[in-house]
Amino acid sequence: MVVTLALGLRALTMLGFRPGRIYWYDTYTYLQLAYELTPREDLNPNGYPFLLRLLMPFHSIPVVVGVQHAMGLGVGVMIYALLRRKGVPAWGAAAAAVPVLFDTSFLRLEHAVLGDTLFVFLLVAATVLLSWSSAPPLWAGATAGVFLAWAALTRTVGLPIFLVALGWLAVRRVGWRPLVVTALAGALPLLSYAAWYQAEYGRFKLVGGDGAALWARVMTFADCDVIKPPPAEAPLCPNGTWRDAAEGYYWAPEASLNRMPGGRKENDSLARSFAVHAVLAQPLDYLRTVAGDVSLAFHWTPADHPMRMSGPLSLWGGVAAPAVPDWARSYLRRYAPGVTGEYEAVQPYAGFLQAFQNPSYLRGPFLGVILLLGAAGLRRKDVLLPWGTAVVLLVLPVAVLDFDHRYVLPVVPFACLAAALAVSARFRAG
């Protein structure tokens, strides 16, 4: 029944808002990379463009978002299946899948040409494969390793999750073969991609811009009178530019990094060095800033962060295509002829979804409770992987750049998995 209702909700979404959400500038960049097959120089690698490339023969945005809706449904089914495998009652397993299946924020991401749904699907699939049995068979470890690598190439925050998964396998003492097979299956795609990146840009890494991102993070508290940076880094000190969120400094043309010759691309290593010096000189300020931004995930009403932006709830309604350069529109026209970047609300389906959206999202305090329930069961080894993944996904994006409601959503399925396992174990023990 739960899966049927979730499937119906996704069918209504496909009928009610057509063809799918196109974002400037992320969607257009993904489409460009899908055609050109060049590694992305900054921010996230090409994991999502690889999927778009696979779907390119259809030349259809509805096909893309339809596949993503199927992935979203699959995430809920995998959560339910794994929990039932671990002995969680059917009602508890279904309850753990409800936030992923019915939260409007997940529907929004599934219905947008963005990589978030793919990222969540790959991580959950890898977790299920590794957790299904006490000692995962070699094929499961190999497949999980590939999925974890693909996730890391979709969003770089997936790379630490790969390391968390390997550490968890070691703690469980599953034997050296599953551990080595998983490690190799994940490492080979990552090393191959890094070699590709080096061939294009001369640096053996997955993506650029990580130094600039960390520099933007420290701009919210950096005091050069305390840091005393080396002369080469002094031009990166705050220059009076003010943004109400760390990510704003990354993009602001008047920010000190972007005013240097070569901008953030040519000065990424220098920016990283400045940021490390700032963190070492002001560790309490850094921890206070990160903790403050992480706390935004637990507000009852989603915080406006940055102040100029609303929370994650606005999903349904006709959206005009933004003014974008001709080069960007040309890739959209090639990928999906006839699509302009606007999407249309179609009644009566849209009216139902507009009424459904306000009550149908996971409030921040509830997410906090779910995380605490999972933490109470950390003595169980099968809780460690999903709970550790949830915490890394919650904290790391904030620690290296900024908070975003969109980045909190991948936390939810893993927090729910950990909580359901912990609560079920407590009831059986009691």
Banded model confidence at residue 141, pLDDT cuts 50, 70, 90 = very high
Whether 367 and 297 have beta carbons less than 8 Å apart is answered as: yes
Q: How far apart, in Å, do the first and last CA atoms of the chain sit?
A: 30
Q: Three-state SS for 17? A: strand
Tens of pLDDT, residues 324-370: 788 888 999 999 998 887 778 888 888 888 777 767 789 999 999 99
Mean pLDDT to the nearest integer, 384-408: 95
Tens of pLDDT, residues 164-219: 999 999 999 888 999 999 999 999 999 999 999 999 999 999 998 899 999 999 99
Banded model confidence at residue 86, pLDDT cuts 50, 70, 90 = very high
Q: Three-state SS for 133? A: coil
- Give residue 17's pLDDT: 86
Residue 427 has pLDDT above 90, yes or no: no
**Rounded Cα distance, 427 and 147, in Å:** 33
**Rounded Cα distance, 405 and 392, in Å:** 15
Closest CA to 68 of 20, 1, 35: 20
Evaluate if pTM is beyond 0.85.
Answer: yes
- Give residue 313's pLDDT: 42
Whether 28 and 328 have beta carbons less than 8 Å apart is answered as: yes
Backbone angles phi, psi at 17, to 5 degrees: -135, 110
Q: What residues does 18 pair with on adjacent strands?
A: 344
